Amino acid sequence: MQLTGLESNDLKLIIFGGKGGVGKTSCAIATALELSENFKTLLISTDPAHSVSDCLEQQIGFKVQKVAGSKNLSAIEVVADQALSGFKNEHQSELKKLLETSTNLDHQDIDEVMEMSLPGIDEVMSFKTISDFIEEGKYDKYIVDTAPTGHALRLISAHKLLDGWIKIGARMRWKYRYIIKTLSGSYQQDEVDN
């Protein structure tokens, strides 16, 4: 079956999914190489068992690397633990303040919560990484080589999980704002609200 429409300027994101061993990585790399002839392309692997480095015969890892022999192709292998660690480091003070102002947890409990790995966090961090790259807009095409079906389905639905977490956080802050405004007469937004 021939794939058509891949060179459309409107098509930015192409995701390869399926069960293990069906050739997702091979198809993703072949598509990325072909599209990189005319488009600045980023190949993103979200499979924890990365094989993009092996297929390209080049170490990729969790940092965007130019692919040898191609002027327009770069690649990255997402490492969810590192992505989560980076997110926590970047937003640690806001996350802690959210928990401090919205729960009855003490500092030790909050530190323990901050160290926890939440269910579905691998897929959420992969989804966030892909979204961040697309939002930056440095590439014309984003090709995603996913993990086998179960992980891929969770990746595709990660926005629902993320949306749920955001709604919970927003409700927690709304209650905090309400109490502060009721007791003091006003509320000043802070970095947690942002």
| Rounded-to-integer distance, Cα 113 and Cα 192, Å | 17
Distances (CA, A) of 39 to 33, 90, 99: 10, 32, 44
Q: Residue 95 and residue 90: Cα distance in Å, rounded?
A: 10
| Of 10, 47, 140, 163, catalytic | 47
**Annotation marks residue 47 as catalytic:** yes
Q: How far apart are CA 93 and CA 109, in angstroms?
A: 15
Tokens of 39: 């488009």
Element (H, E) at 42: strand 41-45
Contacts of residue 142, defined as CB under 8 A and 6 or more positions apart, other chains included, come to 12, 13, 14, 41, 42, 44, 130, 133, 134
- Decide: 130 and 142 in contact? Cβ < 8 Å: yes
CB atoms within 10 A of CB 18: 13
Q: Assign 167 to helix, strand or coil.
A: helix
Which residue numbers are catalytic? 47
